[in-house]
Amino acid sequence: MKCAPTQTPDDVDIRSLREKYLHERDKRIHRQGQKQYVRPIGEFADNYEADPHMPVVPRDPISEDLDVAILGAGWSGILAAYHLKQAGVTSFRNIDHAGDFGGVWYWNRYPGLQCDNDAYCYLPLLEETGFMPSKKFSDGWEIYEYCQQIGKKFGFYDNALFHTRVTGLRWDGSPIDVRLIELVGNSDDKFFQAAMHMGIGYVAERQLKDMELAHSQMVAGVDMYTTLGPGPQLAMAMGSLGSVEVRLGRPDVGRDWIEKAVAMALEIDDQYGAVGAYFHLGYLELDFGTREKALAAFLAGLELVERGDTLSTTDQVAGIGCAIADTDPRYALRLLSAAARLRTPLALPVARQPWGPRVESGVQEARSALSEKESDAAWASGGGLTVDALQAEVRGHFSSRSGTPQRPAHGLSRREIEIAGLVAAGMTSRAIADKLFLSERTVETHLTHIMTKLGFSSRAQVATWIADQRRALAPEG
């Protein structure tokens, strides 16, 4: 049996759903935080530290360079290993206190243990491994054995370090991409040297706060994803690099990268990525006083927002409000009010976002251009709009100026772009199939589609086309 890719229904507002889940999660966060947990010492220690399932075999301490130290060998660690390998990273280790892969399915062996949601959904990599759960709610032992199967099939056992409990991490303060990691644990390992790569993206940038450090991360990210070819990650990395450049006081360089992120996202039909990149471009233009350009960016972003997507709609509409606060303060206040009200049920007010102060100053600017009474009336007029009504109204209001953004003409899917990139790297279909865990036949079918869509008849033409795309997106100079 072969499963078709999941078709996500168009009318699901994934972003709002995520926010709702976060909201629910926040409600459940224990007020005592980490203090709620009991340290495994004294009478608890034996139970926690001992492995009841497998004797611990002593091993020599290890000291080595690693690209990635994956802490844990449960589903999270297994999937990290799988995706790292898929991305071509081979220098990693799963490190776990347990004696094998499995995580909770290693530790828990009590009679009657089963997963409590559908195994066909719960168990990952079923297509890739060909594994078929024996029943709807797999027994615990079956899940544990399946974890082992994955470890064997993809060669994760070669790198795994079991019965290694980590009690701390230390690094020497050097830049993060070459930092020394010392795993402090129950083994006598003195240290590991792990060149750990933090995940890149807007989040890393905000968390790191050290913009120079973030900059080196983003440059490394863009370099890495460039080698993999056009894709949403590359677009995201370029956008992140752009916003860091802006914050380092290099607005023109930053704008250039963010515009490249927009172009890349549109090129690969990554609508969600394009909305985010337009949004960053809009706020950049606002910061530099180029309001017309800001308005154009927010309007282009709004064109791509799905129906019912409250967060993306309100982000773009609030930006539009700021862009017109000087020329049309009444309408600006209506939009800023509508955006603020629509976000209230999501418990994610604009004020808590990094661009909150910019929106607040837009509100103040518009208010200062009107009397208090006029301001209050304009603000009140933003009430009662649904997200779809707001989208339609704003699009209609500016219809003469918002052009529909260019969609990619080639029509290649992300998978096809990925395969075209590997063809351009000189890989054979067999090698591509191995790398992507596909059959050679599937790769050949993708290639046929790629050539049909591009009107080509050879792999060389595909390679040249990819090289042209990369040249067009490469930084000048």
The residues of the shown chain that bind ligand FAD, judged by CB under 6 A, are 72-77, 96-98, 103-104, 106, 108, 113, 115-117, 122, 165-166
- Minimum CB distance to ligand FAD smaller for 54 or for 104: 104
Q: Tell me the C-alpha distance between 262 and 242, whole Å.
A: 11
* Short-list 91, 475, 3, 12, CA closest to 259: 475
Shortest gap between Cβ of 60 and ligand FAD (angstroms)? 18
- Minimum CB distance to ligand FAD smaller for 165 or for 395: 165
Shortest gap between Cβ of 103 and ligand FAD (angstroms)? 2
Per the CB < 8 A criterion, the answer to whether 321 and 342 are in contact is no
- Minimum CB distance to ligand FAD smaller for 74 or for 321: 74
Chain residue whose CB lies nearest ligand FAD:
103
- Minimum CB distance to ligand FAD smaller for 102 or for 329: 102
Shortest gap between Cβ of 62 and ligand FAD (angstroms)? 15
- Minimum CB distance to ligand FAD smaller for 165 or for 453: 165
- Minimum CB distance to ligand FAD smaller for 153 or for 165: 165
Phi, psi at 110, each rounded to 5°: -70, 155
Shortest gap between Cβ of 20 and ligand FAD (angstroms)? 19
* Short-list 331, 353, 226, CA closest to 279: 353
Shortest gap between Cβ of 81 and ligand FAD (angstroms)? 11
Chain-centre distance of CA 128, in angstroms?
A: 22
Shortest gap between Cβ of 186 and ligand FAD (angstroms)? 8
- Minimum CB distance to ligand FAD smaller for 69 or for 350: 69
Say how many Å lie between the first and final Cα of the chain, rounded: 52
Q: Tell me the C-alpha distance between 454 and 464, whole Å.
A: 12
Shortest gap between Cβ of 206 and ligand FAD (angstroms)? 24
> Which residues have CB under 8 Å from 94's CB, separation 6+?
70, 72, 73, 77, 78, 80, 81, 101, 156, 159, 160, 161
Burial of 46 (0-12, 13-18, 19+ CB in 10 A): exposed
- Minimum CB distance to ligand FAD smaller for 13 or for 100: 100
Shortest gap between Cβ of 181 and ligand FAD (angstroms)? 14
CB atoms within 10 A of CB 18: 11
Report the SS3 class of residue 308. coil
* Short-list 313, 312, 284, CA closest to 297: 284
Shortest gap between Cβ of 68 and ligand FAD (angstroms)? 15
Helix axis angle, 291-304 to 387-397, nearest 10°: 130
Q: Specify the DSSP class assigned to residue 370.
A: S
Mapping DSSP onto H, E and C, the string for 397-417 reads HCCCCCCCCCCCCCCCCHHHH
- Minimum CB distance to ligand FAD smaller for 183 or for 423: 183
Shortest gap between Cβ of 428 and ligand FAD (angstroms)? 35
- Minimum CB distance to ligand FAD smaller for 160 or for 258: 160
Residue 59, H or E segment: none
CB atoms within 10 A of CB 210: 13
Helix axis angle, 414-424 to 440-454, nearest 10°: 100
Q: Tell me the C-alpha distance between 86 and 422, whole Å.
A: 13
